Chains A and B, each alone.
Chain A
Amino acid sequence: MRNLELKIFHNNKILVLATLILSIFFVVAILSYSGIIASNWYQQVGGSYDSPNIKNIFGTDIFGRSVLAKLIKGTETAISIGFVVSSIAIIIGLSLGLISGYFGGIIDEFIVWLYTTIASIPNIILLIAFTFILEKGIMSVYIALAMTRWVEICRLIRAEVIKQKSKDYIQASIAIGASHFRRIFYHILPNVIHIAIIQFSLVFQVSIKSEVILSYLGLGEQNQPSWGLMINDAKVEIIRGVWWQLVFATIAMFLIVLSFNIVSDALRDFLDPKLRNK
């Protein structure tokens, strides 16, 4: 297994770099969450709109707060959104996909109906509707995003389960009298889990992007720094020549999304049996 893990990085410097960047983001988010860094992000550390300088390398915002600290706190928001949303989406998508694909019949029809209905509504409208119904804030963003992101996972898992179900090893397990539970979790799940892992990394970065958009539109988190809010601030700042909030928030988002894409691609190449054998 260790050899396999290392093989994925073999001769792929970009992947190493992307993983390194992601690790930094994760470490920063964890440190920020535990209050070790950026816990005093709201404190005034300089004048209003100080440009990047030695004391505040990323400059300050309108209230003289450090943009770096806000960026770090924003990383925490972004990573937490990505993590919570992809976890919920994977749990829902994987369970419904397994049940639907394995049992078929009316259960399958119901689940397919459910996800096609959700998929037919434009995502952004659905997100806005969710955030309007629920009280605005980070919790509603978690729920709104998770409720829209499980659909793709469910669809892929279901298709794969249907394929696996008819294979010989499942027939053999039926013949030796394995229970439904055993068939699903011991035999089918290990053969479809790679889809879930790849989807996890994809949903992670899509959620970060969606959170930024929602916050930018004023529908997301309003009481804690978020990259979307920093970009939204720039709407009135850029004309005054204040570029640092926009630039640093965009760079942060760009780096994390790009790194996730590279890692997802590598994971797919590595985990998908079809691609691995090529």
Chain B
Amino acid sequence: MLKKLSFLLLIAFLSIITTIYLHKNKHKKPATLNLVSLHKIKTLDPILCIDTHSFIHINSVYETLFKYDPFQKNEIKPCLSKNLPIKENNSYVIKLKKGVKFQNDECFSEGKGRELKSHDIKFSILRNADPNLNGKHFWLLDGKIKGLNRWRKNQRKKNQTDYNEEVEGLKIIDDYTIKISFEGDNRQFYQIFASPFSVIIPKEAQDYYKKDFGNSPVGTGPYEIKKFDPQSNKIVYSKNSNYRDERFPTEIPENLKLKFKNSLGKTLPLVDNIIVHIVTETSTRLLKFKNREVDAINITNDNINFSLIKDGKLISDLEKKGIYLYNKNEVNTSYIGFNFNNKIFNNIKLRRAISLAFDRKKYNKLFYNDNSTTAQSMIPPSIEGYEKKYINPYCAYDVERAKQLLEEAGYPQGKGLPKITLDIRSGTIYRQKAIFFKECMREIGIEIKIRTNPFSELLNRIFKGNFMLFDLNWQLDFPDAENILQLFYSKHITPNGFNFTRFKNEKFDELYEKINLISDQERRIILYEEMNRILGDLVPAIFLNHKNHLVLCQPWISYIWTPFNFDLIQYIDIDDTIKQKFQISK
């Protein structure tokens, strides 16, 4: 009898435990990823954004025809397109994936997202070129697609843009096929349509939201942002219920398999809900991270990494907490440009003297904790055209040689040289960097005056040519050295392009023009290397460094970042068991 009773009691006990467990799991909230944005996001209109911070949000909602494979270096794969089309007579026939739907939104009839069609592709390309919208990325299409420039010119005369007007280079074949024809040979076709701003937008959204379009993104991507408010201090994402069945790739490099072992083959996005907190203050960001309130913080531009990283590794205090550092090369070059419209900078000896007097090693140590690569010329590492072995003699630190060159330039000990103004953007770190430059120049007798400007004002100055020296960082838009070499091509002198320094060199121009005529990649790389060396030798700018991407991550997330992908949030996973373990220990 007693045995029976104990048995019954045991059964009852077990069933209670099971019920509680099931009940608890039923009401368990889906995991939320907490990320941080360093800057306020002004708009989510892809053609009006120019900063990488905004594109991370835009590319989580919208998608492009192609995208970079996050696990294969600089390789492009189809996204909304069914495959990678092959060129025929300077034209590409793009076939779209079937069944791709826009998110549910009130701009569509009955609020239900409709299927993506080829006219959406045409509309999105035309929108980028629409003169009435003042898009910032037309340069990528300028003079490339047949008839697009003519269309743009025609629209300028009209009050309202006519998106139905025929464009020779954009032919809709059927609902899922579009043919894009180029003026000449265009080898950047894939890069153009994999750019973060070449996203596909439904016309209904623009017509419905009109001026509020920038706050109401409607796309085909993995997430939707229901209410975007530029004044708010957070952006809330939820999973797009219409998102097609996309999976985390199973074929990834061996070295990454261990890190992503729990994610392989899972449905994307891996986490359904995301909150992006906008925290502009460095110390607040770090405190939030240390309190485990956010899952990852970017510390690339902060000098907080000095208190966290030693000899390229995290300090043991953080390591004990399971926190890890994600450190990867970014694809950028920081430089101080000369204004070639100012006669004194046409003196090559003066430019070389300035470059030689700048102590890059100390600069890297003081401001980057030795976590950046000292630049030898313009092309950054991991881009073809960068030569690891190339050492630029004018990027060395040699005060004596600099003094000698300055004398040869006609300014012994800086005498006869006017005070040189360096324009920088506002901010403590930028000012401290400028002071470092000023002190270096003082060593050889050159006097520098620092002028701080809000970033928009600095760009304005650079565009107008109203400066002597400027400090800027160029982030490549796609993995091709041409994208950074364009900064010194004479036909791209601002306002026609981004040659801010107004540098002109016949040999350089000749080589630049040759690039597009050569189809063989190997030969092109040789040209890139040669052009890079020309820049290194002529010193049209003081090449500073190439920064690294540094992110602090909590132990429970599998973080991923690559330079040209902006849609990577969907690949980040949270391991709940690890999270619970750490939260209990906390």
Is A63 within 8 A of B307, CB to CB? no
Minimum CB–CB distance for A241 against chain B, Å: 7
Is A241 within 8 A of B366, CB to CB? no
Is A236 within 8 A of B303, CB to CB? yes
- In angstroms, Cα B286 to Cα A238, docked, is 12
Is A236 within 8 A of B282, CB to CB? yes
Is A239 within 8 A of B283, CB to CB? yes
Interface size class of A (residues with CB under 8 A): 10 to 19
Q: Is B83 an interface residue (CB 8 A)?
A: no
CB proximity to B under 8 Å, residues A171-218: 218
Minimum CB–CB distance for B62 against chain A, Å: 35
Residue on A nearest B448 in the bound complex, by CB: A223
Known contacts: A218-B452, A222-B452, A241-B307. The answer to whether A236 contacts B302 by CB under 8 A is: yes
Minimum CB–CB distance for B290 against chain A, Å: 11
Q: Is B12 an interface residue (CB 8 A)?
A: no
Q: Is A42 an interface residue (CB 8 A)?
A: yes
**B451: contacting residue among A42, A222, A236, CB under 8 A:** A222
CB proximity to B under 8 Å, residues A52-72: 62-63
Known contacts: A223-B450, A239-B282. The answer to whether A63 contacts B436 by CB under 8 A is: yes
Q: Is A235 an interface residue (CB 8 A)?
A: yes
Residues of A within 8 A of B431 (CB): 218, 222, 229, 232
Residue on A nearest B427 in the bound complex, by CB: A218
Q: Is A23 an interface residue (CB 8 A)?
A: no
CB proximity to A under 8 Å, residues B421-456: 426-429, 431-432, 435-436, 438-439, 442, 449-452
Is B451 within 8 A of A240, CB to CB? no
Residues of A within 8 A of B451 (CB): 136, 222
Residues of B within 8 A of A42 (CB): 439, 442
**Residues of B within 8 A of A (CB-CB), count:** 24
Is A236 within 8 A of B429, CB to CB? yes
**A233: contacting residue among B282, B432, B438, B439, CB under 8 A:** B432
Q: Is B31 an interface residue (CB 8 A)?
A: no
Minimum CB–CB distance for B165 against chain A, Å: 43
Q: Is B304 an interface residue (CB 8 A)?
A: yes
Q: Is B163 an interface residue (CB 8 A)?
A: no
Residues of A within 8 A of B303 (CB): 236, 240
Interface centre among A218, A229, A232, A233 (most CB of B within 10 A): A218
Q: Is A48 an interface residue (CB 8 A)?
A: yes
Residues of B within 8 A of A239 (CB): 282-283, 286, 304, 307
Known contacts: A62-B366, A136-B451. The answer to whether A240 contacts B435 by CB under 8 A is: no
Minimum CB–CB distance for B432 against chain A, Å: 6
Q: Is B92 an interface residue (CB 8 A)?
A: no
Minimum CB–CB distance for B107 against chain A, Å: 40
Minimum CB–CB distance for B308 against chain A, Å: 10
Residues of A within 8 A of B426 (CB): 218
Q: Is B306 an interface residue (CB 8 A)?
A: yes
- In angstroms, Cα B427 to Cα A177, docked, is 63
- In angstroms, Cα B429 to Cα A136, docked, is 19
Interface string of A223-252 (1 = CB under 8 A from B): 100000100110110111100000000000
Residues of A within 8 A of B435 (CB): 63
Residues of B within 8 A of A136 (CB): 451-452
Is A63 within 8 A of B366, CB to CB? yes
Interface string of B396-430 (1 = CB under 8 A from A): 00000000000000000000000000000011110
- In angstroms, Cα B434 to Cα A233, docked, is 13
The DSSP consensus for interface residues of chain B is: helix
Is B439 within 8 A of A63, CB to CB? yes
Minimum CB–CB distance for B284 against chain A, Å: 10
Residue on A nearest B436 in the bound complex, by CB: A63
Residues of B within 8 A of A232 (CB): 428, 431
Minimum CB–CB distance for A41 against chain B, Å: 11
Residues of A within 8 A of B427 (CB): 218
- In angstroms, Cα B282 to Cα A232, docked, is 13
Residue on B nearest A233 in the bound complex, by CB: B428
- In angstroms, Cα B431 to Cα A235, docked, is 12
Minimum CB–CB distance for B423 against chain A, Å: 11
Residue on A nearest B426 in the bound complex, by CB: A218
Residues of A within 8 A of B450 (CB): 222-223
- In angstroms, Cα B451 to Cα A223, docked, is 9
CB proximity to A under 8 Å, residues B301-335: 302-304, 306-307
- In angstroms, Cα B366 to Cα A223, docked, is 20
Known contacts: A62-B366, A240-B307, A241-B307. The answer to whether A235 contacts B428 by CB under 8 A is: yes
- In angstroms, Cα B432 to Cα A229, docked, is 10
Residue on B nearest A234 in the bound complex, by CB: B428
**B366: contacting residue among A48, A218, A222, A229, CB under 8 A:** A48
- In angstroms, Cα B436 to Cα A238, docked, is 20
- In angstroms, Cα B426 to Cα A252, docked, is 25
Residue on B nearest A218 in the bound complex, by CB: B426
Residue on A nearest B452 in the bound complex, by CB: A218
Minimum CB–CB distance for B507 against chain A, Å: 38
Residue on B nearest A229 in the bound complex, by CB: B431
Is A236 within 8 A of B436, CB to CB? no
Minimum CB–CB distance for B335 against chain A, Å: 21
Residues of B within 8 A of A238 (CB): 283
Residue on A nearest B283 in the bound complex, by CB: A239
Residues of B within 8 A of A240 (CB): 303-304, 306-307
- In angstroms, Cα B286 to Cα A121, docked, is 38
- In angstroms, Cα B302 to Cα A238, docked, is 12
Residue on B nearest A219 in the bound complex, by CB: B452
Interface centre among A62, A222, A233, A239 (most CB of B within 10 A): A239
Residue on A nearest B305 in the bound complex, by CB: A240
- In angstroms, Cα B286 to Cα A239, docked, is 9
- In angstroms, Cα B426 to Cα A235, docked, is 13
Residue on B nearest A135 in the bound complex, by CB: B451
- In angstroms, Cα B429 to Cα A62, docked, is 11
- In angstroms, Cα B469 to Cα A263, docked, is 47
Q: List 15 A-B contacts (CB under 8 A).
A: A48-B366, A218-B426, A222-B452, A223-B449, A223-B450, A229-B431, A232-B428, A232-B431, A236-B282, A236-B302, A236-B303, A239-B282, A239-B286, A240-B307, A241-B307
Chain B contacts to A: CB under 8 angstroms: 282-283, 286, 302-304, 306-307, 366, 426-429, 431-432, 435-436, 438-439, 442, 449-452
Chain A contacts to B: CB under 8 angstroms: 42, 48, 62-63, 136, 218, 222-223, 229, 232-233, 235-236, 238-241
Top 10 A-B pairs, shortest CB-CB distance: A218-B426, A240-B307, A239-B283, A222-B450, A236-B428, A218-B452, A235-B428, A239-B304, A236-B303, A240-B306
Given A42-B442, A62-B432, A222-B450, 20 additional A-B pairs, CB 8 A: A63-B366, A63-B439, A136-B451, A218-B426, A218-B427, A218-B431, A218-B452, A222-B431, A222-B452, A223-B438, A233-B428, A233-B432, A235-B428, A236-B303, A236-B304, A236-B428, A236-B432, A238-B283, A239-B282, A240-B307
